[in-house]
């Protein structure tokens, strides 16, 4: 199809009848956009005592390392979304074990759900959104080249869960870690 | 503002340039709707060995009992959303303790996040979306008049968490419980 005119669409802020919050409305056709927070699903994937990381081939944070993660699609369960992202970004087949953490990023209207997972087969390779992928022991993790703060949070939370055996889902960042700049997009 | 014409807005299904999935597009103005799954936040709120339930004053399922829960708003954390819903529906001030469960309802593109919470003060009363509110022991719960299957799942999961001390977040419905018809909307 032809390139749409992106200046149109819901661009007027007003409270629709019967509502109590401002919504974005299209001045041309009257369409009301009920915008909602977005869900990012991802996983900390273990193979023995190593974890899977992907070096991003796309912006934002091209060249930096991240967990396999991305936006949940319509009609997709959160665990299916986490498995899909692991496949898309690292050709990894994973088995979900439980929920590691919820990271709320209200500034971006984003909720990140990070699962704990096990790699079924260590033969991983970069998908189209990755420059390279790899399995890293704790001391091999490229800490200076991590893409987003929540990647660091999740790695610390997973290590803590392993060390303590406490598998309750973490909410918010680990104690002692700086929040850092909020992730610009996704994990 | 005047009532918008609801036949307009994104109503044509097509794959935008540079995308790989069909999206809904407005034939009049070209606006592309990147629709996303919606997040419902709620809580199982305890006061001693009783739990808080609200009898719905609105459709769907008017007159049936539910947990305080609703859609997460933009720029809101999930725990703040759960606290807001408890206040709106039952004038309840709650303290969040942890995440009880994630219920994926992919047919509705909905993810329900249910927290475990403690009532700070037992003086609750119905908000505008409730006919009545109450605190119920396990045997007092109006099981035949529960609004949505996931309310039943959450009550069973909370009872199991209390009994076993296992606080890992539950994913999907409890073993032994029938899925039932999917919740028509919200919890």
Query: Nearest CB to B167: which of A15, A35, A168?
Result: A168
Beta bridge partners, A44, equal A116
Checking if the pLDDT of A1 tops 50, the result is: no
**What would the pLDDT profile of B43-70 be if each residue is shown by its tens digit?**
999 999 999 999 999 999 999 999 999 9
Which pLDDT does position B183 carry in this prediction?
46
Evaluate whether B55 touches B79 at the Cβ level (below 8 Å). no
**What would the pLDDT profile of A154-171 be if each residue is shown by its tens digit?**
999 999 999 999 999 999
**What would the pLDDT profile of A80-101 be if each residue is shown by its tens digit?**
999 999 999 999 999 999 999 9
- Averaging pLDDT over each range in A2-11, A124-133, B31-40, which range is the top one? A124-133
Indicate yes or no: CB of B17 within 8 angstroms of CB of A3.
yes
State the Cα–Cα distance between residues A109 and A119, nearest whole angstrom: 30
**What would the pLDDT profile of A3-41 be if each residue is shown by its tens digit?**
444 556 788 888 887 777 788 888 878 888 777 899 999
Query: Nearest CB to A106: which of B76, B104, B167?
Result: B76
Q: In angstroms, what CA-CA distances link A1 with A31, B28, B35?
A: 21, 14, 19
Indicate yes or no: CB of A4 within 8 angstroms of CB of B78.
no
State the Cα–Cα distance between residues A32 and B38, nearest whole angstrom: 16
Chain B: closest CA distance from residue A72 (Å): 7
pLDDT cut 90: percent of chain B above it: 72
On chain A, the residues whose CB falls within 8 A of the CB of B4 are 16, 25, 29-32
Checking if the pLDDT of B110 tops 80, the result is: yes
Chain B: closest CA distance from residue A53 (Å): 24
Locate the chain B residue with the closest alpha carbon to A38. Answer: B36
Looking at per-residue pLDDT, the higher value among B38 and B19 belongs to: B38
Q: Give DSSP secondary structure letters for A98-148.
A: EEEEEEEEGGGTEEEEEEEEEES-S-----TTEEEEEEE-GGGS-GGGBS-
Indicate yes or no: CB of B26 within 8 angstroms of CB of A25.
no
Complex ipTM tops 0.90: no
Tell me the whole-structure pTM to 2 decimals: 0.86
Confidence grade of residue A183 (pLDDT, cut at 50, 70, 90) = very low
Host H or E run for residue A89: helix A78-90
């Amino acid at each position: 199809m032809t390139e749409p005119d992106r200046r149109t669409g819901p661009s007027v802020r007003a409270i629709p009848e019967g509502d109590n919050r401002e919504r974005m409305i299209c001045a041309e056709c009257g369409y009301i956009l009920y915008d909602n927070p977005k869900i990012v699903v991802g996983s900390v994937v273990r193979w023995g005592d190593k974890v899977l990381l992907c070096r991003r081939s796309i912006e934002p944070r091209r060249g930096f390392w991240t967990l396999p993660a991305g936006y949940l699609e319509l009609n997709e369960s959160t665990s299916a979304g986490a498995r899909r992202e692991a496949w898309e970004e690292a050709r990894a087949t994973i088995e979900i074990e439980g929920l590691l953490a919820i990271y709320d990023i209200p500034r971006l209207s984003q909720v990140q759900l990070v699962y704990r997972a096990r790699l079924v087969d260590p033969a991983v390779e970069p998908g189209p959104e990755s420059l390279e992928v790899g399995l890293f022991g704790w001391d091999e993790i490229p800490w200076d080249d991590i893409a987003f703060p929540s990647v660091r949070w999740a790695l610390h939370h997973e290590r803590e869960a392993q060390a303590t055996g406490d598998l309750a889902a973490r909410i918010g960042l680990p104690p002692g870690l700086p929040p850092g700049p909020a992730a610009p997009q996704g994990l």
